[in-house]
Structure 1
Amino acid sequence: MSAPPAVQIREANAHLAALHGRVAELERRLGAAERTVRGQAESLIRKDGELRAALRELGAAKDREITALQQKLLSSEETIQKLLNVIQKKDDLIVQLKYRSHLLTKICRNRPILDNLLSYMAEGEQLSTFPGTQSDSSSPVHDEFQESNCIPNQISKNKDFSLSEDDLEDQELDTSQFGTTV
């Protein structure tokens, strides 16, 4: 075999030197790119860690806020229940007071009759305070008994007043419903 010509060897050496320079340049660029990628990866890892820590902190803050809101909700529900109980008691009291007001209105309507009855009772008590007095057939009391067809010691069946429909209904009321005496 024959040796390659010197020109070819020089060209081959020049080509190898250029190739070697190109490889060195590519290795340098590759190293720089590798360092850049590593730096970016480390930065991303750092940012990811910071983001995870921030998310954990945010999650914990959110959990605390949810717990606080749940406690406020429970407290509000208890307050609402207490207020509903107070309202129910007040409503019951209003119903009772309306009924008593109705009774007082009826009493006030019948007051003239009650005043007359009390004055007659007072007059009757004054007559009974004199011992030994007997009723005289010519006395005004005897005349009133005769006019009203009353016999002493007997209840008259005649009434000097008429009962309204409300009074007739009230006679049927159970006496246990009255809370006070008049």
Structure 2
Amino acid sequence: MSALSTVQIKEANAHLAALHHRVAELEGTVREQAESLIRKDEQYQASIRDMVDAKDRDIAELQKRLTQSEEEMQRLKASIKDKDRDVERLRHQSRILAQICHSRPLLNALVSLMAEAEGIPCLPNVEQCNGLSSVPDYAHSEEDLEDSDIDRTLFGTTV
């Protein structure tokens, strides 16, 4: 082999020094980029944590609102049941009142006949003729006799 000249050795050493310098520069660049990536990763992780925390807060708020809505729904259902019972009671009362109104002409006629009957004096012969003698007469107390005038005056107003 041939011996290398000093110039060739100096050129090779200069080339190796430049190559070594370039490798050092590239390693510095890689290190800077790695540090930059680490910082960005930390920033992204912090951002993700913030988003997760915000999402968790939103979920907690929505769950709270859902619970409140369900409670309100239960209150409204109970209110509806109460109102349905009231409506059913009022329907029943309405049917009774309708029947009363339908029967009112008969009741008016009956009240009229009763008022007329109160005005007829008691005649023992008439009672026996009408077959009323078999019906026992109920005993009047003094209080009943006193209230009979009141009953006559109030009787038409109570129906």
In the superposition, the TM-score normalised over structure 2's length comes to: 0.74
Structure 2 Cα separation of the partners of residues 154 and 27 of structure 1 = 144
Tell me if 1:79 matches 2:59: no
1:134 alignment partner in structure 2:
123
1:23 alignment partner in structure 2:
16
Identity of aligned residues (%): 36
Q: 2:113 aligns with which of 96, 110, 120?
A: 120
Structure 2 Cα separation of the partners of residues 106 and 153 of structure 1 = 36
Tell me if 1:108 matches 2:107: no
Shift of the alpha carbon at 1:86? 0.5
Deviations 1:8-34 (A, max 9, x none): 65x532221121111111111111111
Shift of the alpha carbon at 1:135? 6.3
- Tell me: higher relative CO, structure 1 or 2? Use CA pairs within 8 A at least 6 residues apart: 2
Q: 1:152 aligns with which of 128, 132, 135?
A: 132
1:55 alignment partner in structure 2:
48
Which segments of structure 1 move beyond 4 Å, counting only runs of 4 or more?
none
Q: Which runs of 5+ in 2 are unaligned?
A: 136-158
What is the DSSP-based 3-state SS (H/G/I as helix, E as strand, rest coil) of the residue aligned with 1:110?
A: helix
| Larger fraction in helix | 2
Deviations 1:59-93 (A, max 9, x none): 11111111111110110000000000000111111
In the superposition, the TM-score normalised over structure 1's length comes to: 0.65
What amino acid sits opposite 1:93 in the alignment? Answer: D
Tell me if 1:12 matches 2:1: no
Shift of the alpha carbon at 1:98? 1.2
Deviations 1:127-157 (A, max 9, x none): 36xxxx52675xxxx8xxx8xxx643779xx
Q: Which runs of 5+ in 1 are unaligned?
A: 156-181
